[in-house]
């Protein structure tokens, strides 16, 4: 089987759906060191599976890598593939976390999905996998609770 090249450094369209998106991984240059890598996605968009209306979230993904890192361009394309995908907030948040865990097999990963109100109620979804090494500093995710106009 031929090795597939990374999407990095070449044109790559936004995938039609999360299931068709390809996530790339690269070797961790510091595999013997515990550290946190964070991706902040302030403009995540998906569709309500019932109404088809757009839903918006601020995602924060923290992980302690083992052998691999997620390549950021492929992650951006994967996350953008949700913009025409209908799913509930809980499903989207957990699906992103599980897909990254399956790809990377990190020591620890957590995702916070801070969803903007739908029907007047903001929904926040949190998921994690693995065990946080005791010597790792993890800052707060820094997303304030929804305050409306307050």
Q: Please give the positions annotated as active site.
A: 48, 55
Q: What kind and span of H or E run contains 89?
A: helix 89-104
Residues paired with residue 111 on neighbouring β-strands, in sequence order: 61, 127
Distance of alpha carbon 9 from the chain centroid = 21
Angstrom distances, CA of residue 28 to CA of 69, 123, 142: 5, 34, 26
Angstrom distances, CA of residue 68 to CA of 72, 74, 97, 113, 129: 12, 14, 15, 23, 16
Cα–Cα dist 54/32, whole Å: 42
Handedness of CA 129, 104, 17, 83 (dihedral sign): positive
Look up tokens 């304030």; give the residue: 144
């Amino acid at each position: 089987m031929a090795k597939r090249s990374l999407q990095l450094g070449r044109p790559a369209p936004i995938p039609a759906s999360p299931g068709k998106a390809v996530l790339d991984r690269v070797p961790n240059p510091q595999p013997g060191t515990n550290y946190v890598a964070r991706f902040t996605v302030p403009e995540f968009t998906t569709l309500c599976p019932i109404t088809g209306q757009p839903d918006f979230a601020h995602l924060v993904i923290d992980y302690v890598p083992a052998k691999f890192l997620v390549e950021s361009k492929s992650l951006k394309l994967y996350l953008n593939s949700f913009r025409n995908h209908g799913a509930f907030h809980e499903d989207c948040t957990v699906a992103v976390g599980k897909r990254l865990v399956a790809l990377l097999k990190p020591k620890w990963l957590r995702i916070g999905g801070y969803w903007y109100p739908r029907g007047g109620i903001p929904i926040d979804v949190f998921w994690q996998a693995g065990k946080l090494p005791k010597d790792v500093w993890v800052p707060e995710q820094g997303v304030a609770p929804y305050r409306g106009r307050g």
